Amino acid sequence: MNSRGEFYGLDRLGDIVCKSLQLSAKELIREVINDIEKFSGVTEKNDDLTIMVLKAAKHFEEHSEIVVAASVEEIPKVFAYIDEVMFRAGFNKETNLEVQLAVEELCINIIQHGYQGAEGTILIAGNSAVDHVMITIVDNAPKFDPTMHPVPHFVDDLDKRSIGGLGIHLARSLIDEMKYEFKDGKNRLTLIKKSRPNA
């Protein structure tokens, strides 16, 4: 109870849990305890406090992957796959859309500038961890390292500025880490998006 004799209650507990779904069980317990302390203030507690957190979710593999044809018509499949990976990893809709947009830009770049209309495939793999998700994009197009692509100069005169190059910059700005390697004749680009539970 607080100083006015009001009980903390299930509604308030439900609110703090809903706001903290992305946190680990240990961090969620800390948030609940802090909220209880804030609510009750200096009022003496009548009993001990015991909290147990059980997180229930659909079973999903920590690793999954899909292979799509190198065609813009396949982009909706990529969107749906990333949506599922991010949702199951516990990320919010905003972060989900950021990763979807980054992957879309990079896949279109592979289709248009890598394969240049030729037939090919793109493998997209998702790996989930407690505090981040890792998306790996693999293709057989000619070697190209997006991490070495120059940052566009936005202060240049628009008439003098070269066309293109913004898709890679956009993808970089939406992702926390981007790593590239060329191995066994394949481009392998890894994107890491970290969870931000307090954002």
Query: CA 146, CA 172: separation in Å to the nearest integer?
Result: 9
Residue 198 is predicted with a pLDDT of 46
Share of the chain above pLDDT 70, in %: 86
SS (H, E, C) the chain: CCCCCCCCCHHHHHHHHHHCCCCCHHHHHHHHHHHHHHHHCCCCCCCCCCCCCCCCCCCCCCEEEEEEECCHHHHHHHHHHHHHHHHHCCCCHHHHHHHHHHHHHHHHHHHHHHHCCCCCEEEEEEEECCCEEEEEEEECCCCCCHHHCCCCCCCCCCCCCCCCCHHHHHHHHHCCEEEEEEECCEEEEEEEEECCCCC
Highest mean pLDDT pick, 29-33, 52-56, 160-164? 29-33
More confident residue, 195 or 199: 195
Q: What is the mean pLDDT of the chain?
A: 86
Residue 79 is predicted with a pLDDT of 92
Residue 195 is predicted with a pLDDT of 79
Residue 133 is predicted with a pLDDT of 92
Residue 48 is predicted with a pLDDT of 83
How many other β-carbons are positioned within 10 Å of the β-carbon of residue 51? Answer: 12
Nearest to 1 by CA among 48, 52, 41, 28: 41
Residue 131 is predicted with a pLDDT of 80
Domain boundaries, the chain: 1-56, 63-194
Residue 196 is predicted with a pLDDT of 64
pLDDT higher than 60, residue 23: yes
pLDDT tens digits, residue range 126-181?
998 878 899 999 999 999 999 887 666 655 555 655 555 578 888 999 999 999 99
Angle at 60 between CA 56 and CA 65, to 5 degrees: 155
pLDDT higher than 70, residue 33: yes
Q: Could you confirm whether domain 63-194 is CATH 1.10.490.10?
A: no
The mean pLDDT value for 69-95 works out to 91
The mean pLDDT value for 106-129 works out to 93
The mean pLDDT value for 30-41 works out to 91
The mean pLDDT value for 24-45 works out to 88
Query: CA 117, CA 10: separation in Å to the nearest integer?
Result: 58
- Reported for 89-98, long-range contacts at CB under 8 A and 24+ positions apart, including other chains, are 89/126, 89/128, 89/133, 90/21, 90/22, 90/57, 90/195, 91/22, 91/133, 91/193, 91/195, 92/22, 95/193, 95/195, 95/196, 98/174, 98/175, 98/193
Share of the chain above pLDDT 90, in %: 51
- The values of phi and psi at residue 33, to 5°, are -60, -45
